Amino acid sequence: MTSTTVTGRRSAGDRGSAPGGLPLTRVSGVGLGVAMLWFSLLVLIPLAAVAVTASEGGWSQFWRTVTQEQTAAAIELTVGTAFLVTLVNIVMGTAIAWVLVRDRFTGKRVLEILIDIPFALPTIVAGLVLLSLYGPKSPLGVNIANTRTAVFLAFLFVTLPFVVRTVQPVLAELDREAEEAAASLGARRFTIFRRIILPGLTPAIAAGAALSFARGVSEYGSLVLLSGNLPMHTEVASVRILSSIENDNPENAAAVAVVLLAISFVVIVAVDVLQRRMVRRG
C-alpha cells in the first residue's frame, strides 16, 4: 500500500523535474483540481487548522502542554502499546496469513470471514465484548479491567486484520517454484523462509505494520470501557484529547493531536525507508 503511493509520488516528481513537464489536458486538469480540492477539504485544511490551534500559544506553550505529566504519560502509553502491538501483529498476522494461504483445513472460509470482524465491528461494540469477557464479571475469571493489559488487548483486537490482509494476497501470489528451486539448491525450510519468502513479503508486512500502528495510536472506542481511563496509568492519548475538549481546553487537545500526527507520519516514512532496504538486501 505504502509502496504504491511512493511510486506515484516519485513519478509525479520526475514529471515535475522534466524540462517543461507534460502539459495537462483539460480533462486531467479538471481531474487534478477536483482531487486536490477534495483532499484539501477533507484532510489538509483540518490538519492545518489543528496545527494552527496547537501553535496559538507559541512553541513554549505547546511544549509545556505535551510535556505536562499526565499528557506525556498518556502519549507514552499510547505509542508504546501501539509499538508492542505492532510487533505482535507482524508475527501473528504473518502466521495467520500463512495458514490461510498455504494450509487446507475445514473451517478455513469461516476463519477468513472472522478475521475481518474487527474491521466491521463498531469499536465500542468491541469494547463491550472485551469488557464482558475480560471485565469484572468475566465468565473466564480473567479480570483485566483498569489495567494496561486492557489497553494492549483492545489494540490487539482492532489491529488484528491489518497485517493479515496486506500479507495474504502477496503470499498467495508468491512464486512457489522459487521456493522449490531454493530447496533443490540445498536450502532448508527456515532458510527458504528467511531468504526467499520473507523478502517478498516485507513490503506487505511493513504496510500492514504501519496501518496497524496508526490505528493503534488513534484507538478510542474499544478500550474506553475496559481500561478505566485512569490518569497516569491507563489513560491513552485519544481519551486525553477528549477530556481536554470537555474541560474547554482545545489548545491542549490540538497539541496532543499534533504529536500523534507527527508520530504517525514519522512511522509511515520510517517503515517505507526500511522496507526498501529490506527488499534490496534479501
Partner 1 sequence: MSIEITNVNKRFGDFVALDDVSVSIPTGQLTALLGPSGGGKSTLLRIIGGLEQADTGRVVIEGVDATGLPPQKRNVGFVFQHYAAFKHLSVRRNVAFGLEIRKRPKAEIRSRVDELLALVHLEQFAERLPSQLSGGQRQRMALARALAIEPTVLLLDEPFGALDAKVRRELRDWLRRLHDEVHVSTVFVTHDQEEALEVADEIVVINEGRIEQIGSPDDLYDRPANDFVMSFLGPVTQLGDRLVRPHDLQLHSGDPAAGDISGQIARINRIGFEIRVDVATTGEPSQAVVVTLTRNEFRALGLDVGAAVNIRLAPESHTTLAPPAQPTPADTAKSLASSH
Q: Which is nearer to partner 1, 81 or 275 (CB)?
A: 275
Task: Return d(Cα 47, Cα 22) in angstroms, integer.
Answer: 31
| Shortest distance, position 11 Cβ to partner 1, whole Å | 17
Q: Which is nearer to partner 1, 59 or 190 (CB)?
A: 190
User: Taking the CA of residue 124 as centre, how many other CA atoms within 13 Å lie in the half-sphere pointing to its CB?
Assistant: 0
b/e per residue 155-169 (b: at least 16 CB within 10 A) = bbbbbbbbbbbbbbe
| Shortest distance, position 190 Cβ to partner 1, whole Å | 12
| Shortest distance, position 224 Cβ to partner 1, whole Å | 43
Q: Which is nearer to partner 1, 17 or 184 (CB)?
A: 184
| Shortest distance, position 181 Cβ to partner 1, whole Å | 4
DSSP letter at 73? H
Q: Would you give the end-to-end CA distance of the chain in angstroms?
A: 20
Q: Which is nearer to partner 1, 26 or 277 (CB)?
A: 277
Segment 166 to 205, residues that bind partner 1, using CB under 8 A? 175, 177-178, 180-188, 191, 195-196, 199-200
| Per-residue cell: 229 | 481511563
Binding mask 252-281 for partner 1 (x = CB under 8 A): ---------------------------xx-
| Shortest distance, position 192 Cβ to partner 1, whole Å | 10
Residues 6+ apart with CB under 8 A from 177: none
Q: Which is nearer to partner 1, 153 or 201 (CB)?
A: 201
| Shortest distance, position 274 Cβ to partner 1, whole Å | 15
Q: Which is nearer to partner 1, 117 or 279 (CB)?
A: 279
Segment 89 to 118, residues that bind partner 1, using CB under 8 A? none
Of the candidates 230, 213, 223, the residue with the CA atom closest to the CA atom of residue 80: 213
Residue that is written with C-alpha cell 523478502 in the block: 199
| Shortest distance, position 245 Cβ to partner 1, whole Å | 48
Amino acid at 223: L
Q: Which is nearer to partner 1, 85 or 204 (CB)?
A: 204
DSSP letter at 136? T
| Per-residue cell: 160 | 488484528
| Per-residue cell: 82 | 501501539
Residues 6+ apart with CB under 8 A from 17: none
Amino acid at 123: T
Size of interface with partner 1, in residues (CB under 8 A): 20
Segment 124 to 153, residues that bind partner 1, using CB under 8 A? none
Q: Note the residues at the interface with partner 1 (CB under 8 A).
A: 175, 177-178, 180-188, 191, 195-196, 199-200, 279-280, 282
